[in-house]
């Protein structure tokens, strides 16, 4: 294998995960525009420790009792009374009953 081919394969291996990361970021941002959130909503999110990406997949909004699914990847949070990302989380997470 020549060095150009090795270099190309190395770049390709790096680009695929970055592309996937970029796609998930764009997907999350489509639920709402964080730049235009009212200050009260920003404060409410801060007070409950809202995170755009759940550190623990088992505590995602999608599995929370306060979450109602809407369009793909988005939903409404009863705690915030606002749209959130299904993959987000916060300190008020409550597992959905079975």
Residues that bind ligand SF4 (CB under 6 A): 50, 61, 64, 66-67, 77, 79-80, 84, 88-90, 92-93
Q: Which is nearer to ligand SF4, 67 or 74 (CB)?
A: 67
CB of 90 to ligand SF4, least distance (A): 3
Q: Is 55 exposed, middle or buried (0-12, 13-18, 19+ CB in 10 A)?
A: exposed
Q: Which is nearer to ligand SF4, 19 or 94 (CB)?
A: 94
CB of 84 to ligand SF4, least distance (A): 5
Q: Are 50 and 84 in contact (CB under 8 A)?
A: yes
Burial 14-26, CB ≥16 within 10 A → b, else e: eeeeeeeeeeeee
């Amino acid at each position: 294998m020549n060095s150009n081919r090795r270099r190309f394969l190395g770049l390709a291996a790096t680009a695929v995960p970055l592309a996937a990361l970029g796609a998930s970021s764009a997907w999350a941002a489509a639920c709402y525009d964080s730049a235009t959130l009212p200050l009260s909503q920003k404060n409410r999110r801060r007070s409950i420790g809202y995170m755009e990406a759940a550190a623990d997949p088992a505590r995602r909004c999608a599995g929370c009792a306060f979450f109602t699914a809407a369009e793909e990847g988005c939903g409404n949070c009863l705690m915030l009374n606002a749209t959130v990302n299904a993959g987000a989380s916060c300190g008020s997470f409550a597992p959905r009953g079975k």
